[in-house]
Amino acid sequence: MARFVLSLHSAPSDHDTTQRLYKFATACLQQGHSIDAIFLYQQGVYHASESINLATDELAINSLWQELHQHGINLILCVTAAEKRGLNIATPNVFTVAGLAEFAMLASEADKWVQFK
């Protein structure tokens, strides 16, 4: 069984990439693999904004993150990338604020790193 890290590079307005990351992560877990971390980098940091609240006919982004969090996946917000983009990192709900170094160490130990953008 393999160890994965995933990273998300596009903003929450890219609904299509978000649902693909979610489905890939779910499929990993279903096949018995582990996901050591999902990392929000570049425009992906805006997923940690507290105000994402879309209409009912839109992708339920918050629920997807909530579900991945409940599966025990470490959801990491890159503090450097977030600060550069003016994101308030005080209240990142299901996300853990961490530095690049922590993520790079997780990535170095993983078997596979798959980027989503």
Partner 1 sequence: MSTLHIFSKPISYYDNARIANLIQSDDKVLLVSDACFSIALYRQLAAKLLVLTEDASARNVIISQPDEGLDYTDFVALTLSTTQSITW
Partner 2 sequence: MINVLVLSQHSPFDDLHIRDALDMTLIFAAIEQNISWLFTGPAVLALKKQQKPESLGLKNYFKSIKTLEIYDVENIYVCEKSLIDYNLDINDLLIDAKALDFKAQSKLIAQQQQVINL
**Sequence-separated (6 or more) residues with CB below 8 Å from residue 62:** 52, 53
Q: What are 39's two structure tokens? A: 């990392």
Q: What are 55's two structure tokens? A: 């209409």
Binding status of residue 52 toward partner 2 by CB under 8 A: no
Q: What are 27's two structure tokens? A: 């499929």
Interacting residues with a second copy between 29 and 88 (CB under 8 A): 43, 46-47, 49-54, 61, 83-88
Looking at the Cβ atoms of 2 and 104, the one nearer to partner 1 is: 2
Q: How many residues bind partner 2 (CB under 8 A)?
A: 29
Q: Is 78 a catalytic residue?
A: yes
Task: Name the binder of 71 from a second copy, partner 2, partner 1, none, CB < 5-8 A by kind.
Answer: none
Instruction: Decide if 68 contacts 104 (C-beta within 8 A).
Output: no
Q: 28, 40, 73, 78: which one is catalytic? A: 78
